[in-house]
Amino acid sequence: MAQNTQNIDALMAEERTYPPDPEFAAQANAQAGFYDQDPDEFWEKEARERITWFTDFNALKQWDRPHARWYLGGRLNACYNCVDRHVENGLGDKVAYYWEGEPADERLTITYADLQSRVVKAANGFRSLGIGKGTKVAVYMGMIPESPVTLLALARLGAPFTFVFGGFSAQALGSRMVEMECEYLVTQDASNRRGKASPLKPIADEAMDMAPTVKHCVTVRRTGSDVTMKQGRDLWWHDVVDTQSDDPASCPCEPMDAEDMFFLMFSSGTTGRPKGIVHSTAGYLVGVATTHYYVFDIKPDTVYWCAADIGWITGHSYIVFGPLANATTSVIYEGTPDFPDKARWWEIIERYRVNVLYTAPTSIRTHMKWGAHHAEQHDLSSLKVLGSVGEPINPEAWLWYRDHIGAGRTPVVDTWWQTETGMIMVSPLPGLTTLKPGSATRPFPGVEAAVYDEQGKEIAPGEGAGYMVVKAPWPSMFRTLYGDDERFRETYWDKFPDAYLAGDSARVDADGDFWLMGRIDDVMNVSGHRLSTTEIESALVDHPDVAQAAVVSRYDATTGQAIVAYVTLKEGAEGSTEKLAELRDHVGTQIGPIAKPANLVFSDELPMTRSGKIMRRLLKDVAENRELGDTTTLADPSVVDELKQRSEN
């Protein structure tokens, strides 16, 4: 085998550029000189500006590789920073969340004062059950107001939590509760999904059978579905919470140490067994508040919508803690984008005059597949910034997003980060950066990202691709893997003596802009050429009939590895033998004959994680006819069986 990243052949060169609009630039939060700031001074200044401390910190950071500590000696409370202080500062009437239920006409406007009242009641209710500082709690919920309320109430009490996607299996929830030794679980009867009630409590019941440490389960009644309540263990939210006091003085915010564990988030499991990623309190909050403010150019009157699920890191950082710390008005939508029809998102944007939309490439490609006419029915002129996260965004999807959603004028910020990093690490700043479709452009100030070769030497701009690394600690970095510091070291810190190994491959172009090229494990070696799956997928998506593409390699006796492509066509296009040849040729002309897929499979769906990422690991198992690996985080397991059958034909 050739060494792992002996420069990946970066074959496609995207050359379009979009300089910032001068009018936007003039009013932007980040102005000239922003990138010239000293990292330590920057993180100290932002910590004081964005966060209210009960006790000021006395040292900025301590770096005992691989363990970092930030804002030493500082004491604070995340709930106080996200809720109470805003009410104290006269923002009680400001809208915190516009909540939109999936059923039409079910809406709530929740002000910061309402949010405080709800959070205090919930915290008092939780406390009455015995939850306090240090009690570990699991949360398994959908996109209802009680979700952020629960997280904030737990933060208020100083109880570390792990939020598991409502949609993960009983196995996934159970194993996570066991791993964290959770004593409590908060859930709901069922959630609304595409017009149906999708059960949560019954799955939680099964999960609790595996997790004997759970003493009590609190259930929100959302859909009214039938559930079984186990005497002594299970309680209704309305019984526990509704009668409680909402006086903030009745349940003060617990002063937490800067380094106290805030929450644990299991990564999405795209590459194997999920990792329990530990985030601390102060560094995390400073990181997400700061990046949210600058990357999305948040103003006092901004209406912001991150259309992710609260159950993955994007939801924690950019639906709950970042926006609330900045006293932002956000939208939360409960359901799926195609209910009752495929224009639902655009209707929401029009209704609330949304200024910032933050979503994932997979959603953008799904909307592309459905067609731009859905968006055209609505007035989207309020949009000022569009964001993307989760996977590399193909230039075609980037351009479609900017043109059809952003009327050809809004900047698109492609934000690269991970559960591990807690906050956005590489991203354009909408008033400063010249954009390139498909490039995450530059590291955020105070983030020392780089690309290393196999020997751990930094690859100079324009000199090819290698390992994405970060050379210095940053405030919101994860502190360890829960209960497995050894795996923490091995996975992220052993490869290079002086940097954090992110696990992605990337290149920096001659202008210094970063291009993420997929995971290291996804790099292929075809006849001695190192190819990135992302580039071949981008070439496929560039074809007018293609909506989504996933590329993996399988063993091949002649070429070493052969390329297998799974393709979803746009609505109206037919998957024929001719189309197959046409797509192979398209890749041939876009990249080169070497990149033409050996096999191409048409499929209506691709296996996705709940957070909307393509599970290439499973596709590779299918391509190589192997037993399937861990499928607990798969959104819809039937997709893989279907693909297996198609691949055999």
Residues of this chain that interact with ligand ATP (CB under 6 A) are: 267-271, 274-275, 312-313, 389-392, 414-416, 418-419, 440, 502-504, 516, 519, 611, 613
Residues in the chain: 649
Q: How far is the CB of 197 from ligand ATP (least distance, A)?
A: 27
Backbone angles phi, psi at 103, to 5 degrees: -60, 135
Q: Does residue 583 sit in helix, strand or coil?
A: helix
199/315 with CB nearer ligand ATP = 315
Q: How far is the CB of 491 from ligand ATP (least distance, A)?
A: 9
- Partners of 290 in the β-ladder: none
Pick from 162, 166, 167, 165: which is nearest to 179 by CA? 162
Q: How far is the CB of 504 from ligand ATP (least distance, A)?
A: 5
192/611 with CB nearer ligand ATP = 611
Q: How far is the CB of 414 from ligand ATP (least distance, A)?
A: 5
Contacts of 529 (CB under 8 A, 6+ apart): 9, 594
- Partners of 481 in the β-ladder: 277
Q: Which tokens sit at 165? A: 């996607």
Give me Rg for the CA atoms of the chain.
24
Q: How far is the CB of 582 from ligand ATP (least distance, A)?
A: 28
Pick from 375, 391, 438, 392: which is nearest to 412 by CA? 438
328/362 with CB nearer ligand ATP = 362
74/475 with CB nearer ligand ATP = 475
Q: How far is the CB of 310 from ligand ATP (least distance, A)?
A: 14
The DSSP output letter for 304 is E
Q: How far is the CB of 201 from ligand ATP (least distance, A)?
A: 26
Q: How far is the CB of 635 from ligand ATP (least distance, A)?
A: 13
Contacts of 464 (CB under 8 A, 6+ apart): 7, 8, 10, 507
613/620 with CB nearer ligand ATP = 613
163/416 with CB nearer ligand ATP = 416
Ramachandran class of 515: left when φ > 0, alpha when ψ lies in -120 to 50, beta otherwise: beta
Q: Does residue 383 sit in helix, strand or coil?
A: coil
46/504 with CB nearer ligand ATP = 504
Q: How far is the CB of 409 from ligand ATP (least distance, A)?
A: 22
3-state per-residue secondary structure call for 470-511: ECCCCCCCCCCECCCHHHHHHHHCCCCCCCEEEEEEEEECCC
Angstrom distance (rounded) from CA 20 to CA 42: 23
267/281 with CB nearer ligand ATP = 267
Helix ranges, 330-417 (H): 344-352, 361-370, 373-376, 395-400
Backbone angles phi, psi at 416, to 5 degrees: -95, 130
152/440 with CB nearer ligand ATP = 440
254/414 with CB nearer ligand ATP = 414
Pick from 192, 238, 202, 199: which is nearest to 218 by CA? 238
Q: How far is the CB of 520 from ligand ATP (least distance, A)?
A: 9
